[in-house]
Amino acid sequence: MTELADPPRADTGRQPLAGAELAIRPRFLADIYEAASRCNKCSLCQAVCPTYVVNPVEWETARGRVGLVRDAIEGRLELRDIADGPLSSCLTCNNCVAACAPAVPTAEIVSRARQELYDQEGHPLLQSVALRGILPSPLMLRMLHGVARAGEVSGLLPFARRTGLTRWLGAAGSISEQVGALPRHTAYRRARRIPPPAEPVRGRLGFVMCCYQNLAAPDATEATLRVFAANGYEVIVPTLGCTGLPGKTQGDREAMLDMARSTVDRMRNLEVDAFVGDVASCTQHVRDYGRLLAGEPLHHGAAARISGSVNHAAAFLAGAGLRSPLGRLRWTVAYDEPCAYPVGGAERRAAHRLLAQVPGLRIVDLEEAAMCCGGAGTYFHKQPERSAAVLERKFEHVAASGAEVLVTDNISCLDQLRAGARRHAPQVRVLHVFEVLNASIEAAQRRAQLSG
């Protein structure tokens, strides 16, 4: 693995600032300076950091990254000095927070540092085109799907994947290799064929569609919508662009906020009891809209109301309770937790609670289930060696578990784990939690038809 020849070193001898010491005037990033100053240098983050365990150097740890960002804030170095490595290799998974006594929000600190770096240095042109021109627009996303499908039907994309030409297509080529052929119909198209909710109707929900899952794994979203309908919920699916998470992770704060505003405008007038989303990362991001858009008179009120009523789909259904009959599935499954779920939150156990109700399903423990699989966003493109190393470690644990089916509920995890299964465990299927639930419901329906 290629590393920085002489990476900057954080001043690990400094102690956390307190009281009057925080009077130091930060050059920038004042909003995260106090949080960055809470790190007590204990090193407990090392054991739980997915990048450190495969590349054990100091700046791969939360302690090292946070210390370097603080050094930049205080003027001991520049952010450009740590752009390649300390800032770029972080998965922003926040797994370190679980081991951190002062709960230093490393992912937020790194994300804000990336944003500040791009504010200082400018944004890459192609990234700006994607974040500001394509992802916010439902029309452009439909056109992107059409172009990709035309490439598949014509044979150009399969040829490019076979010959390695996708390597010359940047992030788009890497995504094509990772995902393979896009399904013919998007999740929005499939939503039109969802049956009406089973009587009696329990409520009316708005659905937070992930723009990426809409294109790359629409079968997962279709399964989610079918499960909610079978359990008595009417689900309204508004047409959305990207909700803005890529802008946050890629360092374009204004693009992130613009997409948040657009999403709020598209959701604010829906008459629903609550909102649900089946992609952990996007849903969690929308739950943060109230904070992100605080102080904006045109959007804050609606953003706060929406973010306060957005639920992770598995957590919502686990709390409300399954009502539809479930059929037997003789599968051995392991659940890989999306790191986007709140650390220590009840959402991390919701999928287990649902899966445990499926007759015949054998659930086995997965070592390091909360450890990121290395597939966050376009990390597999920008950090291919680290991503592959993290993924290989994940599948060593999958093999040890004996699972036949690996289950998760986040699109980045779903695609990364499917790529890992093709490479390391072709006998293992990778499914969304709601695909398992939908399979169980369909099994019950078939049995009822046979007995009727």
pLDDT of residue 104: 95
168 is a domain residue: yes
7 part of a folded domain: no
Residue 171 domain flag:
yes
Alpha helix stretches (DSSP H) within 25-155: 30-36, 50-54, 62-74, 106-121, 125-129, 138-154
Shared domain check, 282 and 225? yes
β-partners of residue 334 are 364, 406
431 within domain boundaries? yes
Q: Are residues 195 and 301 in the same domain?
A: yes
Q: Are residues 348 and 305 in the same domain?
A: no
Does residue 92 carry a pLDDT above 50?
A: yes
The CATH number of the domain holding residue 41 is: 1.10.1060.10
Question: Does 35 lie in the same domain as 105?
Answer: yes
The Cα–Cα gap between 418 and 412 comes to 10
Contact predicate 264/306, CB 8 Å: yes
The answer to whether residues 166 and 191 belong to one domain is no
| pTM score, whole prediction | 0.91
**40-60, pLDDT tens digit by residue?**
999 999 999 999 999 999 999
Name which of 113, 59, 54 is nearest 86 in CA terms. Answer: 59
Most confident of 24-38, 98-112, 229-243: 229-243
CATH of the domain at 443: 3.40.50
Cα–Cα distance between 410 and 55 in angstroms, integer?
A: 25
Rounded mean pLDDT of the chain?
92
Q: Are residues 297 and 412 in the same domain?
A: no
Q: Which amino acid is at 344?
A: G
The CATH number of the domain holding residue 288 is 1.20.1050
Q: Say whether both 213 and 229 belong to one domain.
A: yes
Is pLDDT above 60 for 386?
Answer: yes
Among 299, 318, 337, the domain boundary falls at: 318
Same-domain check for residues 100 and 116: yes
Whether residue 123 has pLDDT greater than 90: no
Same domain, 37 and 109: yes
Confirm whether 428 is domain-assigned: yes
Q: Is the pLDDT of residue 1 over 70?
A: no
Same domain (yes/no): 282, 313: yes
Report, as an integer, the average pLDDT of 123-137.
Answer: 93
Please indicate, yes or no, if residue 14 is contained in any of the structural domains. no
Does 77 score more than 50 pLDDT? yes
| Last residue in a domain, options 121, 136, 166 | 121
Tens of pLDDT, residues 158-175? 999 999 888 888 888 888
Q: Is the pLDDT of residue 377 over 90?
A: no
pLDDT-above-90 percentage for the chain: 83
- How many Å apart are CA 336 and CA 449, to the nearest integer? 34
Is 13 domain-assigned?
Answer: no
The domain boundary residue, chosen from 318, 350, 385: 318
User: Is 5 within a domain?
Assistant: no
Same domain, 117 and 129: no
* pLDDT tens digits for range 281-295: 999 999 999 999 998
176, pLDDT greater than 60: yes
Task: Look at residue 5 and tell me whether its pLDDT is greater than 50.
Answer: no
Least confident of 253-262, 301-310, 348-357, 377-386: 377-386
User: How many domains is the chain partitioned into structurally?
Assistant: 4
The mean pLDDT of 405-414, rounded to a whole number, is 96
At residue 175, the pLDDT reads 87
- Asked if residue 378 has pLDDT above 90, the reply is no
Residue 11 above 60 pLDDT? no
Q: What is the pLDDT of residue 9?
A: 55
Query: Quick one: pLDDT band at residue 15, thresholds 50, 70, 90?
Result: low
Q: Which domain holds residue 442?
A: 325-451
Same domain, 363 and 376: yes
